[in-house]
Structure 1
């Protein structure tokens, strides 16, 4: 573990490492491969050029960082940052296997890491929405950019716009109570940056200019099979939080919940797997200069 992260350890980072890392690893095939259609609408359009220096914030398993490293070529470089070193190990191995040596991965808290203002582009896919202090995190991302550099982040729109997460929660809530106020969490949550006006204000306070929003809608694979999809929903996301926090009651009603989820998700079976709609914001802004 890096000294920086050890000194800045907080309850949200602990929750990621202690609770979510094993579950994310188990469902890596959904959290990475399931985003294929969504990524195809986002990654090719990023304003990245050959020779650019890039930071990938909350890079997770490193797949986007490796994609960006290919984009910038040998003359450029990518720094992948995440608070979970177990995720970064996948990125390091995948980069080595692919023979890509212009990407590096560090375990750190993006809100406090001492970036140098040497980067042309800062990217984050579904990472900033978990910032404990969004303005502080966004401001520190800007600190990594050269004057005139661009930041682009992808965040989920509302839960109503994302039935792949909203529908399973509705099903589980038919059997279990909502989580209490003392429930452990990974931070503000996947929909914390859905409000366009609020996020615009956060970015302005953090010092950005030329702020723009683009809606991205795409199908998302939530499981290779019904059993896979049900297991995923009970482990992660809003439905998973309800299930986890219900404890023994969830265990007693497990079979009922599974059957209800299977019945609801059966309507989304396709040759690619269980496919449901997702919706995100592609938000871009510029560091003044």
Structure 2
């Protein structure tokens, strides 16, 4: 599969210029937390040696690398993402591991994917950000061979992921909500949290035998309360409110926001590694007809 080099839409520009550096800073939190959800799912997926697998929104490629080990030298894995910095790290890690059956390419599942090429498609916490989710899911289905399967992991509802929602609630005590034209990562992390809505998207995209499995995992959101606060103000729903308020207003209200966030984060479970928050995801699977 060759890179499609998607046009730098505002969405792609925002991810590369604004979010990618913040994600890199907190990679240890993000990758560690997300991998706890995929680790609960990946071993049970019907991925076998010799298969060809597409990982959509592959990020730093850690799941792609795990799948590459599953399919073996006779199989192949393609990781696709629109963020250059993520892909650079993924390629570096693949080279360090000596894996030759995995390829990382720049692309956008909403714009173009090859058709009838893969046995299985996976995606971890990426499909929620599609601006046109049904179109992207349809492209993912068409990338499958007839009868091929797809599994993606998405966050459940806000109330099922209280740490992310509480950070936003606290920020909104002191700052205005982002406007309609605010720069954002797309529809948002909870856009597929409603089972009925997500199921309709899957069926509209042409998937059959759609199933939902709930996964609950505690993930580390920072090693200390200070890191939890910094993380919450950089990434996620609370970070969006803080960023879009503008530097002058946000910094003026920072002391009160940090005070309230500290009180909340100190109330969560803590051990020698860090502070842990309950999180919940849907594992959504479907099959391409044929």
Indicate whether the TM-score tops 0.5.
yes
Query: How is 1:117-266 mapped onto 2 (pairs within 5 angstroms)?
Result: 117-247=116-246, 248-266=248-266
Change in 2 beyond 3 A, CA 1:285/1:3: closer
Q: What's the CA shift for 1:136?
A: 0.8
SS of 1:230's equivalent in the other structure is helix
Match of 1:97 in 2: 96
- Tell me, in whole angstroms, the C-alpha distance in 1 between the residues paired with 2:163 and 2:60: 21
Change in 2 beyond 3 A, CA 1:71/1:37: same
Match of 1:277 in 2: 278
Q: Is the 8 A contact 1:35 1:221 kept in 2?
A: no
- Tell me, in whole angstroms, the C-alpha distance in 2 between the residues paired with 1:170 and 1:66: 37
Q: What's the CA shift for 1:37?
A: 3.0
Change in 2 beyond 3 A, CA 1:260/1:280: same
Q: What's the CA shift for 1:175?
A: 1.6
Match of 1:39 in 2: 38
**TM-score normalised to structure 1 length:** 0.96
Q: Is the 8 A contact 2:3 2:106 kept in 1?
A: no
Q: Is the 8 A contact 1:157 1:280 kept in 2?
A: yes
- Tell me, in whole angstroms, the C-alpha distance in 2 between the residues paired with 1:36 and 1:123: 13
SS of 1:256's equivalent in the other structure is helix
The answer to which of 178-187 and 154-163 deviates more is 178-187
Q: What's the CA shift for 1:9?
A: 2.8
Change in 2 beyond 3 A, CA 1:141/1:36: closer
Match of 2:287 in 1: 286
Q: What's the CA shift for 1:14?
A: 1.4
Q: Is the 8 A contact 1:38 1:219 kept in 2?
A: no
SS of 1:81's equivalent in the other structure is strand
Change in 2 beyond 3 A, CA 1:9/1:115: same
Gaps of 5+ in 1: none
Change in 2 beyond 3 A, CA 1:3/1:57: closer
- Deviation digits for residues 215-264 of structure 1 (CA, Å, limit 9, x no counterpart): 11100111111111111000010000111111111101112211221111
Q: What's the CA shift for 1:68?
A: 0.7
Q: What's the CA shift for 1:39?
A: 2.9
Match of 1:87 in 2: 86
- Tell me, in whole angstroms, the C-alpha distance in 2 between the residues paired with 1:149 and 1:275: 37
How many residue pairs get aligned? The number is 287
SS of 2:244's equivalent in the other structure is helix
Cα RMSD of the aligned pairs, angstroms, is: 1.4
- Deviation digits for residues 169-199 of structure 1 (CA, Å, limit 9, x no counterpart): 1222222121112211121111111121122
- Deviation digits for residues 121-176 of structure 1 (CA, Å, limit 9, x no counterpart): 10000111111111110011011111000000001111111012011112222221
Q: Is the 8 A contact 2:212 2:284 kept in 1?
A: yes
- Tell me, in whole angstroms, the C-alpha distance in 2 between the residues paired with 1:162 and 1:278: 5
- Tell me, in whole angstroms, the C-alpha distance in 2 between the residues paired with 1:39 and 1:206: 23
Q: Is the 8 A contact 1:222 1:274 kept in 2?
A: yes
Gaps of 5+ in 2: none
Match of 1:21 in 2: 20
SS of 2:174's equivalent in the other structure is coil
- Tell me, in whole angstroms, the C-alpha distance in 1 between the residues paired with 2:114 and 2:135: 13
The answer to which of 259-268 and 22-31 deviates more is 259-268
- Tell me, in whole angstroms, the C-alpha distance in 1 between the residues paired with 2:34 and 2:111: 29
Q: Is the 8 A contact 1:36 1:220 kept in 2?
A: no
